[in-house]
Amino acid sequence: MLNNNIDERKILKKGYHISTKSTYFQVLYDVYLSKRDDWISVNSHIAPVGNNFQETLDLIKNQTKDSEVPLLFTNLAWERNCSITYIRNQVYFDENQEKKLYEHCRAIESSSIIRNSVGNSNILTDKYLLYKYLLNGEKYFAVPTILINKGRVDETKGKFFEGAEFTKNDGLWYLKDSMRNKSEGIYLFTNKEEAFEFSKRDENINRRFLLQKEITPMLIDYHFKFDVRVYIVSVFTPEYTKCYLFNEGIVRSTNSVYKRGDLHKESQLTNFCYQKQVSPEFQRIYRLSDITKDQLDIDPSEMFEKIKECTASCFGDVLTKLNQYKHHGFTLLGLDYIFDHEKKPYLLEINYSPSAFQDSPNNVPLVVQELCKQLPLIALDPILENKSPILNDFIEINSINHHCSKNGGNEDHNTEDFELF
């Protein structure tokens, strides 16, 4: 760790490279990194990096000038579940390209820096994998789902399909592309047969979809559909993986009155970015703790307790599948829940690098700002200084201790290598 046998008067400078304006990385820069003397901006493509985490820490300890400050944290890492990480070159990187231009990227050892995504985390953030492996029919908070892979039904999850609700003609069917976000790749149909035919089109035949029947939702202000975004921070080292839930949420509502079976996305999709595109003056987004009894027939604290229970159950099942290479790092995930008319929560999806909502009204930006102010106390300080985490507004919901081999790595890498992007 950094504080061993070092002159306490010496500032050990650590290098970071943040390149984004819309996610929590920018907020972390604004509220923490930019205000610290011991963190300085470096070029992730040329800054020194060790061959493993300890070597990078040794470079920090032995630096004599700013040009020697090593890279320790960046959001330009092309996170994958393998021993090599690529630092993306902004000039050449295009996430829409099928071929990944590794020849224009810098290759470093994945274990050499603080990673911003835990290995195998796309078993959570890929909606198809989430429902196939984790949210099975036994999870009471899983949306009943038909999984479609290359135009064919893969599996059906949920006892819902065995009951009368499945045969009802009212309500919509949501067909969701498993790898697209911000309400992109969501298609609405009045029956499942139309959705199946759509998935078999030539342009869709190689895609994976989730097909879900419309749930009769709880409404906010008596007329509007909504969901609740909460944040999880997963902190991981070769010794442990821990999950912390931030004790605040964000309520996102539609801007149009909800009507069951309505094919208009404005009344069905709660995604904030989508609603802003439809109506730039959109204002219907709130902190969960600010919701009043006049708006919802349930107390916000009761909603949060239900969400906490569901989240702990979900992550408790997946911890053993994460961080197979025993790296150091942390990742922020955004979880979206919807409540039905009987006040039952359902987990819709888990988002990697979730929105920080910094352009939102109603004090909503303060949620991620406060989270990022407290994040170093549960992530950076424990990883770098071996300090005990200071929770403040975080709640530890899951943890697991890892068995490490003598070389500090994982002895069993025979897990499915899910590629994050």
Q: What mean pLDDT, rounded, does the chain reach?
A: 87
Q: Please check whether residues 274 and 169 belong to one and the same domain.
A: no
Q: Which residues contact 118 (CB under 8 A, 6 or more apart)?
A: 234, 236, 241, 322, 323, 327, 329, 330, 331
* 282 & 395 share domain: yes
Helix H or strand E encompassing 24: helix 24-31
Tell whether 242 and 189 lie within a shared domain.
no
Co-location of 276 and 365 in the same domain: yes
Assess whether 261 and 319 both reside in one domain. yes
Q: Is residue 409 part of a domain?
A: no
Q: State the pLDDT at residue 409.
A: 43
Find the range with the poorest average confidence among 75-79, 282-286, 396-400, 403-407.
Answer: 403-407
pLDDT at 241 over 80: yes
Residue 412 confidence (pLDDT) above 60: no
> Which of 192, 213, 234 is at the close of a domain?
213
Handedness of CA 223, 135, 420, 207 (dihedral sign): negative
Q: Give the integer Cα–Cα distance in Å for 330 and 350.
A: 16
Query: Looking at 122-131, 353-362, 408-417, which range is the least confident one?
Result: 408-417
Same domain, 192 and 278: no
CATH number of the domain encompassing residue 320: 3.30.470.20
Residue 253 burial (C-beta neighbours within 10 Å; 0-12, 13-18, 19+): buried
Instruction: Count how many domains the chain has.
Output: 3
* 206/253 same-domain check: no
Residues 64 and 33 in one domain: yes
- pLDDT for the residue numbered 179: 81
Q: How confident is the model at residue 161 (pLDDT cuts 50, 70, 90)?
A: low
Confidence label for 333 from pLDDT (cuts 50, 70 and 90): very high
**Tokens (6 digits) for 135:** 């949210």
The answer to whether the beta carbons of residues 123 and 134 sit under 8 Å apart is: yes
Instruction: Assess if residue 374 is contained within a domain.
Output: yes
> Residue 5 domain-assigned?
no
- Does the pLDDT of residue 190 top 70, yes or no? yes
Distance CA 100, CA 80 (A): 13
Residues 132 and 181 grouped into a single domain? no
Structural domain range at position 384: 122-137+218-401
Using the predicted structure, report yes or no on whether residue 152 has a pLDDT greater than 70: yes
Assess whether 388 and 282 both reside in one domain. Answer: yes
Residue 390 pLDDT more than 50? yes
Domain boundary residue, one of 213, 228, 257: 213
On the question of pLDDT at 98 being above 60, the answer is: no
Residue 115 is given by DSSP the state B
Domain finish residue from 213, 235, 256: 213
CA distance 216 to 211: 16
pLDDT digits (tens, 9 = 90+) for 243-283: 999 999 999 999 999 999 999 999 999 999 899 999 998 99
Q: What is the pLDDT of residue 417?
A: 33
Q: Is residue 414 part of a domain?
A: no
Whether residue 99 is found in the same domain as residue 127: no
Res 103 pLDDT > 80:
no
Decide if 23 is inside a domain.
yes
Query: How does residue 411 score in pLDDT terms, banded at 50, 70 and 90?
Result: very low
383 and 259 together in one domain: yes
| Domain presence at residue 3 | no
Give pLDDT, residue 163: 47
